[in-house]
Amino acid sequence: MLLPVLDSALGALGSSWETEAIVSSEPSYFVALGAPASEHDTAGFRRFSGRGFPSGAVFAVPRRESATTHFALRLRETSRNPDGFGTELPVVHEKDFLDPRIHIYDVPIGPHFRSKLRLYSLNPPEGTEGAVSVRLSIAGTNREVTSSRLPWTRPDCTYESCMPAYAELDLDSLLSTSQSQAGGRFDLSLWTNYAEAWAFVGVVDNTTQSVSVISPR
């Protein structure tokens, strides 16, 4: 299981971010509404705030237990709204790392947003073959705006370090100054050269610091 972000840190424009994860093992019994509380009511349930894994964390769950183990992950901006519920982030199963080609559609880029691509893999090849190709086009068309290549950042050992291989890109950096100021909607195409991967784009509103998550479809 991949939790794409598990960290707490300061961000741009005075923002402060925290991720909170929940892991729950499906109980083998049902506690009726109004039943007396006991120590068994929270058996198999854990809630914790993330620290130290800004590039994601990998949790190894035995296959025989995966169907009854549930994860949830939220991202909250706490400087402006410390009691806000936040935004749900995807939790990714190993089976979702299926294809070296990924498409993400209708991504806003411009002066009102901070849009960042985050890309993950559990098995990228070494050397130059591991580079990620990124193509940006006008949304809903085949009109290419620009393309780029990203290197993977690899932990020494993916599973022992509990971290995936990772690449990221601030999407504003792909555009010229005039294009970025004009803003617009764009489609992303990614090729990872043989690596099974998964990616998403986080979009932060510069005024409200609200977050939208755009994942592959």
Q: pLDDT tens-digit profile of 63-88?
A: 888 888 888 999 998 888 888 888 99
Q: Which two tokens stand for residue 9?
A: 């840190």
H-state helical runs in the chain: 63-66, 177-182
Is residue 182 very low, low, confident or very high in pLDDT (cuts 50, 70, 90)?
confident
**Average pLDDT value for the chain:** 83
Q: Residue 37: which residues within 8 A CB-CB, separation 6 or more? A: none
Q: Could you tell me the domains of the chain?
A: 2-30+39-88 (no CATH), 94-214 (2.60.290)
Instruction: Please give the residue that has the higher pLDDT: either 118 or 157.
Output: 118
What's the pLDDT tens digit per position in 187-217? 999 998 778 899 999 999 998 888 999 998 7
Rg (CA), the chain: 19
d(CA 20, CA 76): 8
- Rounded to an integer, the average pLDDT of 157-172 is 78
Q: Give the pLDDT of residue 64.
A: 82
Q: How confident is the model at residue 105 (pLDDT cuts 50, 70, 90)?
A: very high
User: Strand pairing partners for 58?
Assistant: 2
